[in-house]
A and B are shown apart, each in its own frame.
Chain A
């Protein structure tokens, strides 16, 4: 099936004019599959880290959301150890007006603002709730360990 014009346009723009701290490049053999990197935002425990993600655009895109997963291990209350992300716009709050760029920016924002009240990794969330400082320390350690350049 031919690639919709919208995906081609988005890809062109992602490559030509990337969002700060974010890169996304499609696989040559499958233009719906993207290798993504997100830099940990400054001021967050993930600062200095470079996180690898995979992003896949399903057949129904943009009517259904892209599938995104962290490949790099990360200590975050909304991301489980398999890399799955708890983010509303990737689920029921998806809108066809959103796009790859906005999704990735949202994920970047999620790194700056963890939300332990809507957890995916319950132990991490519990840790963040009980002792945020210590949890942030673990996050920093993990970032250093797994996400350093």
Chain B
């Protein structure tokens, strides 16, 4: 809302808001002019010109003639901060520039970042000198600090004077430490305070009076020796503790390794433990034995020595000894027995049940009982993965043998059939030969008889004579009757 210095020309007044046009807008249809916002709202309420009621829509509106715009922009208005005290007047179009840059009665934020006050532009200079966040200089040390921190700084500034609370002497604060070290009235503890003397008092009394009477002072030689011993013990203790940590971590690693191995081996574990030893260095075995044969009886210490000497091969045997001497439970986790595996096994494979039935329960019996080296099949470890693959290949081999046999069979049958046929044909051939032989013989007989004077009965007669044997032979032929002969 603007206050105009002079009553504006009534032709520049919007009939809706009764003020000089803002964004003057003219209806193209009836050429009446209004403020843009006023006519937009009016048309939404009722789509007609407020002046002549001719129909009007938002599309009919267009910016008014620039002359109108210039006329209203150049109207002289009063500053909206007149209430605060600004008496300036200016053209309406300069309003925003005035408020933004030059009006002295606009509230602007203080230039100090921490200060959240809003100050009238005319008071900015005054505020700068009074703002609690303004920068100022300490008159003692010359550092630049915030005004609000000045009082805190004054109580700390090394160049300001301070007073000893014991002798009431004044000196620069920077020398306060030096003073405390020399002030005779300064309250200090007894020199034997760390040995238990609870006396405190002015420095001058310490050497003059207290030292003579202090019971701790009398035996300070003992304290000295004692503390020396204590510190050496402490160092030793620390070293030992570190060692223990290291050994514990070794044990952990071993435990993990053994666990991994037992997992990998599964039920194979027991039968192979004699030959397969985990990859443990002799030194770590040594540490292991020291740890777990803790109450050092002569037998266990000797056993550990043997382990160290012949580390790898006797490893498991040594464990047997240990188990006998010491806590079984302590070692139990190192030799976990997969009962579960065994159980599953026995369900799956009745044959394996036999081998596992003896070891259903405890750790001791496992170690003492001799075990059958028969490995169960159908396990879920990698070892038994290979087993099952072996089994698969056996199955494959057996099937291939099977098929081979069948192929052999077929080949044999084919061969024998072929031979049969050949035999048949040979028989026919022999038969043919025999017939021919017959004929030859008949011919010869005929020649002989002819020569003998007897006229031959002729070939037809011969044929009739010799045919019967042929016809008798035919049924015995395995081949088809009626051959090419």
Task: Please give the residue numbers on chain A whose beta carbons come within 8 Å of chain B beta carbons, in ascending order.
Answer: 4-6, 9-10, 60, 62-64, 93-99
Which of B45-53, B331-339, B446-454 is found at the contact surface with chain A?
A: B45-53
Query: For the complex, is B42 an interface residue (Cβ under 8 Å from A)?
Result: yes
Let me know if B45 and A97 touch, CB within 8 A. Answer: no
B188 at the interface (CB under 8 A from A): no
A-B contact pairs, 9 of them (CB 8 A): A6-B17, A6-B18, A60-B45, A62-B16, A64-B45, A95-B53, A96-B15, A97-B50, A99-B18
A9 and B18 in contact, given A95-B50, A95-B51, A97-B51 (Cβ under 8 angstroms)? yes
Residues of chain A within 8 A (CB-CB) of B17 are 4-6
B41's nearest neighbour on chain A, judged by CB, is A63
Residues of A within 8 A of B211 (CB): none
Cα(A70)–Cα(B49), bound, Å: 29
Residue of B nearest to A2 (CB): B1
Q: Say yes or no for B251: interface residue by CB 8 A criterion.
A: no
Beyond the given pairs A95-B51, A95-B53, A96-B16, 4 more chain A to chain B contacts, judged by CB atoms under 8 angstroms and listed by A's residue number, are A6-B17, A10-B18, A60-B45, A63-B45
The answer to whether B18 touches A5, judged by C-beta atoms less than 8 angstroms apart, is yes
Residues of A close to B15: CB separation below 8 A: 96-97
CB distance from B41 to the nearest CB of A (A): 6
Chain B interface residue count: which class? 10 to 19
Contact of A96 among B1, B19, B38 (CB under 8 A): B38
Q: Which residue of A lies closest to B44 (CB)?
A: A63
Residues of chain B within 8 A (CB-CB) of A93 are 53
B45: chain A residues at CB < 8 Å are: 60, 63-64, 96
A128 to chain B minimum Cβ distance, whole angstroms, is 29
Output the nearest chain A residue to B48 by Cβ-Cβ distance: A95
Looking at the assembled complex, report how far the CB atom of A105 sits from the nearest CB atom of chain B, in whole angstroms: 16
Chain B residue numbers with a CB within 8 Å of A94 are 46
Collect the chain A residues with CB atoms within 8 Å of residue B42's CB. 63, 96
CB-CB nearest in chain A for B19? A5
Q: How far is the CA of A10 from the CA of B50 in the complex (A)?
A: 17
* Distance in angstroms between the alpha carbons of A60 and B46 in the assembled complex: 13
Beyond A63-B41, A63-B42, A63-B45, whether A96 also contacts B50 by CB under 8 A is yes
Complex Cα spacing A94 to B51, Å: 10
Q: A6 contacts B51, CB within 8 Å?
A: no
B326 CB to nearest chain A CB (Å): 93
Residues in B with CB closer than 8 Å to A10 are: 18
Measured between alpha carbons, how far is A94 from B49 in the docked complex, in Å?
Answer: 11
- Closest chain B residue to A63 by CB distance? B45
Give the residue name and chain of the B residue nearest to A99 (CB).
Answer: B18
- Is the beta-carbon distance between B51 and A5 smaller than 8 angstroms? no
Interface residues of B in 387-434 (CB under 8 A from A): none
CA distance A63 to B38 in the complex (A): 9
**Chain B residues with Cβ under 8 A from A99's Cβ?**
18
Asked if B19 and A97 make an inter-chain contact with CB atoms under 8 angstroms apart, the answer reads no
A5 touches B53 (CB 8 A): no
Please name all residues of chain A whose beta carbon is closer than 8 Å to the beta carbon of B50 when the two chains form the complex: 95-98
Please give the distance in Å from B178's CB to the nearest CB on chain A: 72
B16's partner among A9, A60, A64, A97 (CB-CB below 8 A) is A97
CA distance A5 to B3 in the complex (A): 11
Q: How far is the CA of A98 from the CA of B18 in the complex (A)?
A: 11
- Report B-chain residues with C-beta under 8 Å of the C-beta of A96: 15-16, 38, 42, 45, 50
Which of B18, B19, B53: most chain A Cβ within 10 A?
B18
Q: A63-B42, A93-B53, A97-B50 are in contact. Are A5 and B16 (CB under 8 A)?
A: no
A5 with B38: CB separation less than 8 A: no
What's the least CB distance linking B465 to chain A, in Å?
149
| A96, chain B: closest CB distance, angstroms | 4
The distance in angstroms between the C-alpha atoms of A99 and B42, with both chains bound, is 14
Name the distance in Å between B305's Cβ and chain A's nearest Cβ.
Answer: 102
Chain A residue contacts of B1, Cβ below 8 A: 5
Complex CA gap A9/B48 in Å reads 25
What is the bound-complex CA distance between A97 and B17, given in angstroms?
A: 9
